[in-house]
Amino acid sequence: MTPYEQGLAALRAAQYPVPVRSRGVIALLEENCTVCMVCARECPDWCIEIDSHKETLPPRTERGRPRVLHVLDRFAIDFALCMWCGICIEACPFDALFWSPELPPATRDPAELVHERAELRAWLATVPAPPALDPAAAPAKEQQDADRRSGPG
């Protein structure tokens, strides 16, 4: 290891104490991403690259119609360009993007600041839980749906 790499490793190992809601790095929940392209179009820095293709699903019922699905092939964020505005996270209509307080690791090569899908996915583990709802608030829509489905009848 060169001294530079030693320093880098020390930096990466250090648990730098940052507030939990810090804007560190952006995490991707692929399951929620519908490849709508909204984030790539809203990003003022043009740093989100998305590739996808179409797949046709056979009809579910005999008289049904085939459905076209967009399948994600590539999702990358260039943290060398990103300015941490959070617009992509705000704009995503499907809650597929989240702030993680972790910092993208320092590198010597700006190309390494392009985080591909797998890396963005891995940051999910570091995303803090959302703030609790107000005690008087109605349960979230998803919760209401789930309760209705699992409820009696």
What is the contact surface with ligand SF4 in residues (CB under 6 A)? Answer: 33-39, 43, 45, 47-48, 50, 77, 82-88, 92, 94, 96-97
> How far is Cα 144 from Cα 139, in angstroms, rounded to an integer?
6
Of 116 and 145, the one with the shorter C-beta distance to other proteins is: 116
* Alpha helices (H) in the chain, listed in sequence order: 3-13, 38-42, 87-91, 117-122, 141-150
DSSP β-ladder status, 67-78 and 97-100: unpaired
Among ligand SF4, other proteins, none, partner that 94 touches (CB below 5 to 8 angstroms by kind): ligand SF4
Among ligand SF4, other proteins, none, partner that 49 touches (CB below 5 to 8 angstroms by kind): other proteins
Among other proteins, ligand SF4, none, partner that 53 touches (CB below 5 to 8 angstroms by kind): other proteins
Number of shown-chain residues binding other proteins (CB under 8 A): 22
- For 25, 77, 136, the CA distances from 102, given in Å and listed in that order, are 6, 15, 32
